[in-house]
Amino acid sequence: MIRCELWRDEAGLVRDWLIEGHSGYAEAGSDIVCSAVSVLAITCVNSLEALCGIRCDAKDNGNGYLRVILPTGLDETQQHDARLLTGYLEQGLRDVSNQYPKYVRVSVKHWRETP
């Protein structure tokens, strides 16, 4: 199963997310569930950087693990853009999870900035 955890701040912005695991829906290379989740996650990170100028701290081990943290100190425009793109990510992950509930789980948690 693919586990997707998103952490939302007080203003509703997804600040941090973790996607890990393998769906087990089909063989590697033919797994449409894994592909869908990967495309959503990678496109979100790439779009944040290429379209919005927001460089995230992203760690990907190449084997079913992606951890992304938005930088602090985003201006108002960047926050707006990040909210749209992470909203796209969340909606897409929920759509895949609703279609394939045995293979993808999405949870949203409260994010706290550490000092």
* Nearest by Cα to 66 from 33, 111, 21: 21
Q: What is the pLDDT of residues 9-65, one digit of tens each?
A: 988 899 999 999 999 999 888 999 999 999 999 999 999 999 999 999 999 988 889
Under DSSP, the state recorded for 103 is T
Hey, what long-range contacts does 29-37 have (CB within 8 A, 24 or more apart)?
A: 33/2, 33/96, 33/100, 33/103, 33/104, 34/2, 34/64, 36/92, 36/96, 37/2, 37/4, 37/93, 37/96, 37/104
113 — pLDDT class (breaks 50, 70, 90): low
Question: Does pTM surpass 0.85?
Answer: yes
Q: Give Rg (Cα) of the chain.
A: 14
- The domain defined by 2-110 folds into Alpha-Beta Plaits (3.30.70)
Q: What is the pLDDT of residues 49-60, one digit of tens each?
A: 999 999 999 999
- The domains of the chain are located at 2-110
